[in-house]
Structure 1
Amino acid sequence: MAGRTYYAPTGGLPPQTDLITDRAVFTEAYAVIPRREFSDIVASYLPFWDKTRCWVIARPLSGFAETFSQYVMEVQPGGGSDQPEPDADAEGVLFVVEGEITVTVDGAAHRLTPGGYAFLPPASGWTLRNDSTAAARFHWVRKAYEYVEGIDVPDPIFANENDIAPTPMPDTDGKWATTRFVDPSDLRHDMHVTIVTFKPGGIIPFPETHVMEHGLYVLEGQAVYRLNQDWVEVQAGDYMWLRAFCPQACYSGGPGDFRYLLYKDVNRHAKLGGF
């Protein structure tokens, strides 16, 4: 499968001549963060990360999305961290959109290039470095792992989407497909990060309404996306954040594929009280 090109933010600041009008919106059911919002003034720095900044695009927020956080990381040459994850109960997924990184787990080094995916179980003691000569940019999804007695914690996974054949959705003539890095029936996993692809003209033909929370980062293309009762235009570099039960659908207008990185929480009982 041919390699893909993904949209990666580079920061900066919109010029004074730009219009203020924008597609950015935050509602009780969803948020849209357009790509021009990834400016220098909203970047953050993290403890124990060298030559690194990030954009925090999702975080647990009472009454909204509550299960995960998501960052877009930018690591300069020679940068990285020997203690990247401060929470021993946090699992993580990395997905590289530009450059290359080396992730080390249990003494084994894994080089990830664009399309590269890593699942990092809790307390895995992973480290990360950019040993290349160019900046690396990647997504980092973090979630508190939900342990279940009698079910093992998942093993680390390293893969690249270019080596995985997408799974077409039934009765869509291949216009809607999902690239999966984890077997959906593997109950060790309590979250999935996948890539969803729509060919031009492909649609979600009904308003999906479900318990899973979503984070959707548009990797390529453009579409009109239904969020709750609204239809919103989105393009490569935009981010959407959906709380549980927010209706969603989409229409891919082309001219190329519309593709996004998707987070959802799965495979666990709903918590009953005691929050």
Structure 2
Amino acid sequence: MSSSRYYAPTGGHPPQTDLLTDRAVFTESYAVLPKGTMRDIVTSFLPFWDDTRLWILARPMTGFAETFSQYIMEVQPGGGSDRPETDPAAEGVLFVVEGGFTLTIGGQTHDLGEGGYAYLPAGMDWTLRNRTGAVARFHWIRKAYEAVEGLDRPDPLVLNEADIAPSVMPGTNGAWATTRFVDPNDLRHDMHVTIVTFQPGGVIPFLETHVMEHGLYVLEGKAAYRLNRDWVEVEAGDFMWLRGFCPQACYAGGPGPFRYLLYKDVNRHAAFLGR
């Protein structure tokens, strides 16, 4: 655990004396990957990335969640890529949880630190280099962009959470709020990545049941989360992966805020299989 307000995994392995018992679960409608599952043995590497490893938290799976992949990237000082994305149809979002890096998009250079967010349109040329003296860790969420005739493609965005005022859910007296990096009314976007914050005692007071798929990475705090038929306890560093229509709710008991990075697919017709 770093000194950042956001949790980032560091790998390693537990000792032989530890008990096997943990909270990992995979069901027909959701999965929970506790922070303790993100060990050295389950890291991977990517073509054209130097001094970089990653944890793959989610990938499209037929019959489960099919729209997105989500990685936690770990880039050593001097590492990065001049050819990071090999799929020209993939759009991406980066969110920095520890350290920082230099991101170049279409020839324009940006320095991103903790809380930094970048939207990378499909087909856009970009590069990433860690020119700092510390390890950089960040989420990379990828999706095949669903273009619509008559709608322009979204522009690249580089923002920071600290500069965005959260939108408070009506009727909650500030207990439930969402930090939005993209205007929800901008229909060029077919996915949203936001940060949801619950103050101690805050709740989702009904079972949300909807078509959108979710990736939820807990950045800070702990809570009891309802997933389909089960209540599960989650804490900073845990990842929840939900297929469409999985009922969900939340109770954030404290003692501090409960915050998570949230992916969902939005703003497109339901596709017909085989067409």
Same fold per superposition (TM over 0.5): yes
Structure 1 match to 2:216? 216
> Which consecutive residues of structure 2, in runs of 5 or more, have no partner in the other structure?
none
Q: 2 CA distance for matches of 1:229 and 1:4?
A: 34
Contact kept, 8 Å, 1:200 with 1:257, in 2: the verdict is yes
Q: 2:246 is matched with which residue?
A: 246
2:109 alignment partner in structure 1: 109
Mapped partners of 2:227, 2:251: distance in 1: 12
- 2-side partners of 1:207 and 1:21: how far apart? 29
What's the % identity of the aligned pairs?
73
Describe the SS at the equivalent of 1:71. Answer: strand
- Paired with 2:16 and 2:162, the residues of 1 have a C-alpha distance of 40
Return the offset for 1:15. Answer: 1.2
RMSD: 1.0
Q: Please say if 1:83 is aligned against 2:75.
A: no
Is the CA contact 2:193–2:264 (under 8 Å) kept in the aligned structure 1?
Answer: yes
What are the within-5 Å matches in structure 2 for residues 67-216 of structure 1? 67-216=67-216
Q: Distance in 1 between matches of 2:124 and 2:4?
A: 29
Q: What is the rounded CA distance, in whole Å, between the counterparts of 1:62 and 1:106 in structure 2? A: 34
Give the Cα–Cα distance (whole angstroms) in 1 for the partners of residues 96 and 141 of structure 2: 12
**Structure 1 residue 261: deviation in Å?**
0.0
Cα deviation code 1:153-188 (max 9, x no counterpart): 000000000010000001000000000000001000
Mapped to 2, the partners of 1:236 and 1:273 lie a distance apart of 37
Query: Could you tell me how far 1:4 is from its partner in structure 2?
Result: 6.4
Quote the residue 1:45 is aligned against. 45
Whole-Å separation in 1 of the counterparts to 2:84 and 2:4:
27
Match of 2:233 in 1: 233
Cα distance in structure 2, aligned partners of 1:118 and 1:161: 11
For residue 64 of structure 1, what is the aligned residue in structure 2?
64
Deviation digits for residues 17-52 of structure 1 (CA, Å, limit 9, x no counterpart) = 111011000000000000010000000010000000
SS in 1 for 2:124: coil
Aligned length: 273
The structural deviation recorded for 1:147 is: 0.5
Task: Specify the code of the residue in structure 2 equivalent to 1:204.
Answer: I
1:84 CA drift (Å): 0.3
Aligned to 1:16: 16
State how far apart, in whole Å, the 2-side matches of 1:225 and 1:154 are: 33
Residue type at the aligned position of 2:49: W
CA distance in structure 1 between the aligned counterparts of 2:27 and 2:151, rounded to whole angstroms = 37
What letter is aligned with 2:52?
T
Structure 1 stretches lacking a partner, 5+ long: none
- The SS at the match of 1:162 is helix
Whole-angstrom CA distance in 2 between matches of 1:129 and 1:52: 11
CA distance in 2, matches of 1:231, 1:273: 33
How high is the TM-score relative to the length of structure 1? 0.98
* Letter matched to residue 6 of structure 1: Y
TM, length-normalised to structure 2: 0.98
2:12 alignment partner, SS class: coil
Residues 4 and 115, structure 1, Cα contact 8 Å, conserved in 2: no
SS in 2 for 1:159: strand
Which secondary structure state, in structure 2, belongs to the residue aligned with residue 122 of structure 1? coil
Conserved 8 A contact 1:105-1:126: yes
Q: Alpha-carbon deviation of 1:253?
A: 1.1
Alpha-carbon deviations, 1:75-119, whole Å to 9, x = none? 000000000000001000000000001110111111110000000
